[in-house]
A = this chain, B = another copy of it.
Amino acid sequence: MESLSAIAAGTYSLNDDSQDHINDTDNANRHSQTGHELYAASLESILAAAKRIGPLIHRTAVLTSSSIAELSGNRTFFFKCEMFQKGGSFKFRGACNAVYSISDDCIAKGVVTHSSGNHAAALALAARVRGMPAYIVIPKNTPICKLEAVKRYGGVVHLCEPSLISRERTAEAIVSQTGATFIPPYNHGAVISGQGTVALELLDQVPDLDAIVAPISGGGLLSGIVLAAKGINPQIHVIAAEPKGADDVARSKAAGQLLKCENPCTIADGLRASMGEYTWPIVRDLVDGVITVDEEEIVSAMKICYQQLKVVAEPSGAVSLAAVLSPQFTAPSSAWAGAKRVGVVLSGGNVDLEVLWKSFIPPH
């Protein structure tokens, strides 16, 4: 992955000359945020992303529900509905920012990624919007519907063996042949900056939040959110939500070092990755805490999304709701007992109805 990340970073050339701080390879993933360390993104790069992608993305709706509030001791939740984003998840923001950060002379060469999830479809869509080819490396065991979404958005699918080494080698071969820019799903400054626009929007829609809770996997979304939110309001709490069956963030934070996600086992298929070298320092330094939820809590949250909010949330998308309904958040002894106005990021809605329905049937 290292070589591909470096290639990706090296292609940056911003349309807006005033944001030249990610305009060369060395600095592309190193922004000053707190003064004691350089991060891969910053409030400034997120504001630049918002300007760049604003006309291309949906400003997603924020929903509230008094019946869900009643489940959580008189708190008010503001649900940021990223299932309404183009492509059905927040991933379009980061993909779009990365694609539109590529210099004009590299457009014809296209972009490449390896992914079986929402990033693949989002990158294909973003590339189509900018009129450039997107080469998407997809493991052979990926569900047909995910593959079809990539094709529907005009992505050129390259099938590979279902292993990380096969995915990386296939992508590297495409880069060598085409000169395409590699856009990883999260461990990348422009992707983090794009995802951070979720928090900019949310705090514009609801300025006086006490806390924001969002799911974490590789950390692109959460590191973007925490940089934006604490850049605007240093007092705000930012909390990660992850499945117990893929709790590398909770373990990493406890250990003070980046631990990988070994043998993830969760219905939340979007939350099985591990943080990377660019997302981990941000999560380590700035995220206030991690709430882990079990599979039953995730399914219950999906059901509440369906029944109360009337929105479609995929398992990963409902993990943040599961977190704010769990005792770790609601108990009087919780560190966030004082958080009364809480932004909850519902990150995506790409789930087949059959999968949703079957997840609600208790196993026999």
Contacts and interface: CB of A to CB of B under 8 A. Distances in A.
Interface of A: 58, 61, 63-64, 66, 81, 83-84, 86, 88, 303, 306-307, 309-312, 349, 353-354, 356-357, 360
A310 B83 contact: yes
Contacts of A353: 303, 306-307, 356-357, 360
A349 B310 contact: yes
Given A83-B310, A84-B309, 10 more contacts: A61-B63, A63-B84, A84-B310, A88-B310, A303-B353, A307-B353, A310-B311, A310-B349, A311-B311, A312-B312
Contacts of A360: 353
Contacts of A354: 357
Contacts of A306: 312, 353
Contacts of A63: 61, 84
A303 B356 CA distance: 13
Nearest to A67: B152
Contacts of A66: 86
Contact of A312 (B61, B64, B81, B311): B311
Nearest to A87: B67
A158 to B, nearest CB: 24
A140 B312 CA distance: 32
